[in-house]
């Protein structure tokens, strides 16, 4: 009898424990809810990041949020804890259930999100991709950060100058399915192919994939350094570039680094000369443009077809143009060069 | 704890029905949890209690649930298999590559099932041949090897452009009900029967409770172990097919982390990690507890890290309760001694 009393007591105690855990999250839920409640008539515009902790994605959301405030919509930031399409599908599904008005997604895989995004569009939700595109059937428009041709060719030309026309090139990319990185790499290859004479001493030795994961990027960079032919690493991804910079610094390597990096993260490497210069656009502006582009889709002032015009707040008038994959896109502008002279002022901005 | 109690503690034998015992089961706590989660979700988000939304949420999390039942058998044995996510990746990648090389899709699906079977069989055979190795170590090694092979085959590429009908596994519906839910229900019924109504099921419990006595009782331990690990491999391949269908593409790094999610569902379902204890019913409940909790928290935009913490906390509670009960019992005994 006494035993069973103890049993009952323990069960009661544990259920109280469970309930308190639940009611605990219940409370935080309520707070969260007030910020995403769409019953007060405000439209909800959601941004799905590649992964929720990526600092570049957070900067993008900053701009997205600012624009949403100007428009009068509710901004929502979502993203998986790992950069995988599986988790993004789950999140898109939740957004469809919440009946948001706009889903802006930076895709981890161009094709894998298609069924999920299509079912969102079937329900009348507007879908656009930004930063890393989904395929043309899964979106209404893509927000293109900068002309991929200029980025690709520009990075190879920069690499050529940095090694004085003599030394192998390695590329440290994000995932092998990342749409934007692959497009830039294609343009890099084109630049090399079309000017064989100029680049005869700067061959592309290897393309490595760091999956936008700091650990894997570090390992891949270390592996690249074992090849004595490699004199420069091009990292067209902020995560990879930071990881590569740290490896080069630790090993006191003479290999140079360029690519697309966040000024705030890369400032020490630019100042120390490991990275003579690099390029990037303003991620805040991408998010900002995405919110305005999405707003135009939601208000049906554009449909995402070629030739549509919209006014994107402080960025002025933008035109929808044809994209390389056959879909349409809105171009933000030219890539911006960061070097020793201007890094000081930019490193505090983003 | 007296010796007699220690012996009968885990073994379920035919007992007279007792209302008290019936009411104080782990499963009821899960039912309670499920009700509470649903009530909170309904109160917090107006979009939760919508049939279509619920069905599509279920469609999302059930691909993991396919793996839960065979994993339950493994854990009932007191073993563990952490190679399943890698098996999923390997079988899905080989299916994709076969299809790409011109083999018709149905045949490619059969190949993927075959690969899954072989992967599971290898795990089982190694464990039986080298008894001194723990299943954790063996499946850790095969986990790395299987995913390694998948990466060698596909490098960093992905296979997509599967035929349209293949999408049916992941996205198809019969009426309003997702196809995968039907699959899940049938699987659940089969496993309930297998675990609770067949001699095979009894043997699994016997092995999980005491591997030595079960051997002396004439059970073919090795055979049962190999069968269970092979089953786990087959179902990993099936889950890989569903996941590939859902994503319309496959890569060597799909399903990473699935093994832990699956083990979490089994453990929350009340299956003891030391083996021999747990019911299919509890596991089914825990699938829905975790799935709907994740979905509900996602709906109200709780950050994904916070969701992980909440589910982690639930697991700690699930693991702690049996220990808590034991220590209470021990405490009770101590009191008697001191009083004497």
Q: Measured between alpha carbons, how far is A278 from A259 in angstroms, rounded to an integer?
A: 5
pLDDT given for residue A37 in this prediction: 43
pLDDT given for residue A14 in this prediction: 59
pLDDT given for residue A8 in this prediction: 57
Shortest distance between the Cα of A145 and any Cα of chain B, in A, equals 24
pLDDT given for residue B21 in this prediction: 66
The average pLDDT across A10-33 equals 49
| Residue A345 to residues A56, A129, A267, A348, Cα–Cα distance (Å) | 18, 30, 10, 7
Domain B49-324 - what CATH class?
mainly alpha
- Any idea what the Cα angle at residue A284 is, between residues A282 and A287, rounded to 5°? 115
- Whether the per-residue pLDDT at A252 is higher than 80: the answer is yes
pLDDT given for residue B197 in this prediction: 94
Q: Which residue has the higher pLDDT, B149 or A14?
A: B149
Whether the CB-CB separation of B205 and B76 falls below 8 Å is answered with yes
Instruction: State pLDDT tens for residues A295-304.
Output: 999 999 999 8
User: To the nearest whole number, what is the mean pLDDT of chain B?
Assistant: 88
pLDDT given for residue A84 in this prediction: 87
- Whether the per-residue pLDDT at A250 is higher than 80: the answer is yes
Q: How many CB atoms lie within 10 A of CB A104?
A: 29
What stretches of chain A adopt beta strand conformation (E)?
44-48, 74-78, 102-105, 126-130, 141-146, 168-173, 204-209, 230-235, 256-259, 277-280, 309-311, 317-322, 328-333, 336-339
Choose the mutation target among B32, B151, B252, B300 for the interface with A, i.e. most A CBs under 10 Å: B300
pLDDT given for residue A333 in this prediction: 83
Q: Which residue has the higher pLDDT, B300 or B322?
A: B300
- Chain A residues with beta carbon closer than 8 angstroms to that of B255: 86
pLDDT given for residue B4 in this prediction: 47
In this complex, the residue of A19, A97, A111 whose CB is nearest that of residue B248 is: A111
What six digits make up the tokens of A232? Answer: 């420069």
Ranges A298-307, A310-319, B200-209, B315-324: which has the least confidence? B315-324
Angle between helices B68-76 and B179-197 (to 10 degrees): 20
- Chain B residues with beta carbon closer than 8 angstroms to that of A85: 247
Instruction: State pLDDT tens for residues B89-116.
Output: 999 999 999 999 999 999 999 999 999 9
- Any idea what the Cα angle at residue A128 is, between residues A35 and A146, rounded to 5°? 110
- The stretches of B155-255 forming alpha helices (DSSP H) are 168-171, 179-197, 199-209, 211-216, 221-247
Instruction: State pLDDT tens for residues A179-223.
Output: 788 889 999 999 999 988 889 889 999 999 998 888 999 999 999
Whether the CB-CB separation of A144 and A328 falls below 8 Å is answered with no
Angle between helices A85-98 and B51-65 (to 10 degrees): 160
pLDDT given for residue A180 in this prediction: 82
Structural domains for chain A:
44-139+283-333 (3.40.50.2300), 148-280+338-346 (3.40.50.2300)
Question: Could you tell me whether strands A102-105 and A44-48 are parallel, antiparallel, or unpaired per DSSP bridges?
Answer: parallel
> Can you tell me whether residue A215 is helix, strand or coil?
helix
CA-nearest residue to A4 within chain B is B20
The interface predicted TM-score (ipTM) is 0.79
Shortest distance between the Cα of A318 and any Cα of chain B, in A, equals 32
pLDDT given for residue A10 in this prediction: 59
Distant-in-sequence, close-in-space partners of B74: CB < 8 Å, separation ≥ 6: B80, B81, B135, B228, B229, B232
Q: Measured between alpha carbons, how far is B170 from B60 in angstroms, rounded to an integer?
A: 8
DSSP B218: T
Q: Measured between alpha carbons, how far is A32 from A20 in angstroms, rounded to an integer?
A: 18
Ranges B16-25, B116-125, B231-240, B274-283: which has the least confidence? B16-25
Contact B297 A78 (CB under 8 A): no
Whether the CB-CB separation of B233 and B87 falls below 8 Å is answered with yes
pLDDT given for residue B108 in this prediction: 96
Whether the CB-CB separation of B14 and B202 falls below 8 Å is answered with no
Contact B56 A81 (CB under 8 A): no
| Residue A230 to residues A169, A206, A208, A254, B152, Cα–Cα distance (Å) | 6, 9, 12, 10, 24
Q: Measured between alpha carbons, how far is A262 from A206 in angstroms, rounded to an integer?
A: 24
CA-nearest residue to B296 within chain A is A94
In chain A, pLDDT over 90 holds for what percent of residues?
47
Counted residue by residue, chain A has a size of 350
Residue pointed to by tokens 């899960």 = B30
Distant-in-sequence, close-in-space partners of B9: CB < 8 Å, separation ≥ 6: B1
The H or E element containing residue A189 is helix A179-194
- Chain B residues with beta carbon closer than 8 angstroms to that of A209: 156
Task: Please report the residues numbered 245 through 274 in chain B whose beta carbons come closer than 8 angstroms to any beta carbon of chain A.
Answer: 246-249, 251, 253-257
pLDDT given for residue B106 in this prediction: 96
The answer to whether B100 faces chain A, any CB pair under 8 Å, is no
Query: Which band of pLDDT confidence, cut at 50, 70 and 90, is reported for residue A32?
Result: very low
- Whether the per-residue pLDDT at B339 is higher than 70: the answer is no
- Whether the per-residue pLDDT at B119 is higher than 90: the answer is yes
- Any idea what the Cα angle at residue B59 is, between residues B149 and A294, rounded to 5°? 95
Query: Which band of pLDDT confidence, cut at 50, 70 and 90, is reported for residue B200?
Result: very high
User: To the nearest whole number, what is the mean pLDDT of chain A?
Assistant: 85
CA-nearest residue to B25 within chain A is A11
Q: Measured between alpha carbons, how far is B230 from B122 in angstroms, rounded to an integer?
A: 8
The H or E element containing residue B160 is strand B159-160
| Residue B121 to residues A83, A212, B125, B126, Cα–Cα distance (Å) | 32, 35, 6, 9
Exposure string of A196-220, with b = 16+ CB inside 10 Å and e = fewer, is eeebeebebbbbbbbbbbeebbbeb
- Please provide the DSSP assignment of A7-59 as one string: HHHHHHHHHHHHHHHHHHHHHHHHHHHHHH--TTSPPEEEEE-SSTT-HHHHH
Q: Which residue has the higher pLDDT, B82 or B22?
A: B82
Tell me, rounded to whole angstroms, the distance of Cα B292 from its chain centroid. 16
DSSP A129: E
Q: Measured between alpha carbons, how far is B172 from B334 in angstroms, rounded to an integer?
A: 59
Q: Which residue has the higher pLDDT, B328 or B117?
A: B117
What is the phi/psi pair of residue B221, to 5°? -55, -45
| Residue B227 to residues B85, B113, B124, B200, B212, Cα–Cα distance (Å) | 19, 15, 8, 10, 19
Instruction: State pLDDT tens for residues A268-290.
Output: 899 888 999 999 888 889 999 99
Q: Sheet harboring A204-209: ordered strands across?
A: A204-209, A168-173, A230-235, A256-259
The average pLDDT across B250-275 equals 91
- The stretches of chain B forming alpha helices (DSSP H) are 3-8, 19-23, 26-44, 51-65, 68-76, 84-100, 105-129, 135-154, 168-171, 179-197, 199-209, 211-216, 221-247, 258-268, 280-299, 304-339
> Can you tell me whether residue A328 is helix, strand or coil?
strand
What six digits make up the tokens of A267? Answer: 């400032």
Query: Which band of pLDDT confidence, cut at 50, 70 and 90, is reported for residue A115?
Result: confident
Ranges A19-23, A229-233, A244-248, B276-280: which has the least confidence? A19-23
Shortest distance between the Cα of B250 and any Cα of chain A, in A, equals 8
pLDDT given for residue A38 in this prediction: 45
pLDDT given for residue A307 in this prediction: 86
Q: Measured between alpha carbons, how far is B1 from B20 in angstroms, rounded to an integer?
A: 22
Q: Measured between alpha carbons, how far is A75 from A5 in angstroms, rounded to an integer?
A: 52
Domains of chain B, residue spans: 49-324
pLDDT given for residue A264 in this prediction: 87
pLDDT given for residue A4 in this prediction: 56
Q: How many CB atoms lie within 10 A of CB B18?
A: 9
- Whether the per-residue pLDDT at A23 is higher than 60: the answer is no
The answer to whether B339 faces chain A, any CB pair under 8 Å, is no
> Which of A36-50, B26-40, B182-196, B310-324 has the highest average model confidence (pLDDT)?
B182-196
The average pLDDT across A312-326 equals 87
Is the torsion defined by CA of B109, B157, A225, A274 positive or negative? negative
Whether the CB-CB separation of A280 and A337 falls below 8 Å is answered with no
> Can you tell me whether residue A61 is helix, strand or coil?
helix
Tell me, rounded to whole angstroms, the distance of Cα A310 from its chain centroid. 23
pTM of the shown model: 0.79
Choose the mutation target among B150, B165, B247 for the interface with A, i.e. most A CBs under 10 Å: B247
């Amino acid at each position: 009898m006494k035993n069973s009393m103890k049993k009952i007591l323990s069960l009661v105690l544990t259920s109280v424990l469970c309930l308190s855990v639940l009611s605990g999250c219940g409370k935080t839920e309520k707070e969260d809810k007030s910020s995403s409640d769409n019953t007060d008539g405000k439209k909800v515009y959601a941004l799905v990041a590649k992964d929720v902790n990526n600092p570049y994605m957070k900067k993008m959301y900053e701009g997205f949020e600012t624009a949403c405030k100007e428009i009068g919509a509710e901004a929502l930031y979502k993203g998986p804890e790992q950069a995988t399409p599986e988790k993004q599908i789950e999140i898109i599904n939740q957004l469809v259930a919440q009946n948001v008005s706009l889903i802006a997604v930076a895709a981890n895989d161009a094709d894998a999100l298609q069924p999920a995004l299509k079912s969102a569009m079937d329900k009348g939700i507007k879908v656009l991709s930004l930063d890393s595109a989904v395929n043309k059937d899964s979106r209404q428009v893509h927000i293109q950060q900068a002309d991929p041709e200029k980025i690709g060719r520009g990075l190879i030309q920069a690499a050529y100058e940095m090694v004085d026309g003599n030394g192998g090139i390695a590329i440290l990319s994000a995932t092998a399915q990342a749409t934007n990185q692959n497009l830039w790499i294609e343009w890099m290859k084109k630049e090399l192919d079309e000017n064989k004479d100029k680049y005869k001493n700067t061959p592309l030795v290897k393309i490595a994939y760091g999956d936008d994961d700091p650990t894997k990027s570090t390992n891949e960079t270390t592996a690249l350094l074992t090849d004595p032919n490699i004199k420069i690493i091009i990292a067209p991804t902020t995560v990879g570039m930071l990881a590569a910079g740290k490896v080069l610094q630790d090993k006191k390597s003479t290999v140079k680094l360029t690519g697309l990096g966040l000024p705030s993260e890369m400032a020490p490497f630019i100042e120390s000369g490991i990275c003579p210069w690099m390029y990037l656009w303003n991620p805040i502006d991408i998010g900002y443009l995405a919110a305005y582009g999405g707003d135009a889709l939601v208000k049906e002032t554009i449909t995402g077809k070629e030739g549509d015009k919209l006014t994107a707040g402080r960025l002025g008038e933008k035109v929808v143009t044809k994209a390389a994959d056959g879909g349409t896109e809105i171009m933000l502008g030219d890539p911006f060069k960061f070097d020793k002279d201007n890094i000081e002022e930019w490193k505090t901005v983003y | 704890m007296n010796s007699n109690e220690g012996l009968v503690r885990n073994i379920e034998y035919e007992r007279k029905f007792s209302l008290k015992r019936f009411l104080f089961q782990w499963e009821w706590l899960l039912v309670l949890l499920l009700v509470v989660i649903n009530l909170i979700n309904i109160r917090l988000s107006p979009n939760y209690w919508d049939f279509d939304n619920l069905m599509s949420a279920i469609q999302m999390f059930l691909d993991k649930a396919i793996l839960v039942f065979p994993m339950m058998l493994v854990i009932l044995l007191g073993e563990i298999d952490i190679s399943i996510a890698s098996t999923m990746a390997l079988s899905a990648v080989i299916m994709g590559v076969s299809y790409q090389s011109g083999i018709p899709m149905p045949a490619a699906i059969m190949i993927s099932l075959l690969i899954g079977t072989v992967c599971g069989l290898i795990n089982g055979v190694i464990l039986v041949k080298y008894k001194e190795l723990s299943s954790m170590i063996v499946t850790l090694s095969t986990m790395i090897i299987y995913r390694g092979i998948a990466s060698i085959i596909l490098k960093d590429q992905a296979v997509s452009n599967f035929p349209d009908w293949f999408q049916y596994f992941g996205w198809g519906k019969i009426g309003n009900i997702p196809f995968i839910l039907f699959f899940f229900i049938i699987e659940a019924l089969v496993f309930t029967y297998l675990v609770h109504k067949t001699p095979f099921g009894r043997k699994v419990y016997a092995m999980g409770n005491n591997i030595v006595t079960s051997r002396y009782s004439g059970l073919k331990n090795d055979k049962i172990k190999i069968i269970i690990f092979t089953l786990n491999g087959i179902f990993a391949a099936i889950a890989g097919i569903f996941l590939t269908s859902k994503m319309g593409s496959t890569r060597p790094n799909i399903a990473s982390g699935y093994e832990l999610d699956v083990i979490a569902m089994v453990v929350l379902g009340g299956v003891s990690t030391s083996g021999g204890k747990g019911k299919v019913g509890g596991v089914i409940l825990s699938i829905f507890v975790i799935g709907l909790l994740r979905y509900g928290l996602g709906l109200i935009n709780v950050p994904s890290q916070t969701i992980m913490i909440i589910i982690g906390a639930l697991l700690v509670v699930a693991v702690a309760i049996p220990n808590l009960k034991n220590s209470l019992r021990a405490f009770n005994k101590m009191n008697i001694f001191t009083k004497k």
